[in-house]
Amino acid sequence: MKTVFLATALVLGVAFGAQAQDAEIRGTISQQFEAFKADDFATAFTFASPSLQQFFQNPQNFGRMVTQGYPMVWRPATVGYLELREADGSFFQKVQITDENGRYHILEYRMIETAGGWRISGVQILDAGGAAV
């Protein structure tokens, strides 16, 4: 009986831990979306990983990259979270975005955990099919 209880507790603990992690990752991405919507590139920059911050050097360069290269991220109409997966110590969150023109895009956010919480260390456009929703 003790073994069953311990096994159940372990499974539940892992499940709740995964849910909390999932919520924290989505929260980081959502907060960056909110900053972009407000054109607050300084705040949006804080959600980038230290390596991305070093690469772009300042919020202005980062903002320019996003507005020119990822307009669907800068001005999403809707955002939906798809699956979260782990590979080689990194977590990858798929996100479906509908842009202002009604076109959908699937992106994958590479997430890393830092002392300051989850940070975005890269975004890859997986599908820019452009179909209207």
pLDDT digits (tens, 9 = 90+) for 18-33: 566 789 999 999 999 9
- pLDDT above 80: residue 130: no
pLDDT digits (tens, 9 = 90+) for 63-107: 999 999 999 999 999 999 999 999 988 899 999 999 999 999 999
Distances from the Cα of 130 to the Cαs of 18, 65, 95, 126, in angstroms? 32, 21, 15, 12
Distances from the Cα of 75 to the Cαs of 11, 39, 43, 47, 102, in angstroms? 39, 10, 16, 17, 12
- pLDDT above 60: residue 50: yes
Domain architecture of the chain: domains with CATH = 2-127 (3.10.450.50)
Cα–Cα distance measured from residue 98 to residue 113, given in angstroms and rounded to the nearest whole number = 27
pLDDT at 83: 95
100-104 long-range contacts (CB < 8 A, ≥24 apart) are: 100/75, 100/76, 101/132, 102/77, 102/132, 102/133, 103/72, 103/129, 103/130, 103/131, 103/132, 103/133, 104/129, 104/130, 104/131, 104/132, 104/133
pTM for the whole thing? 0.80
Q: What is the mean pLDDT of the chain?
A: 87
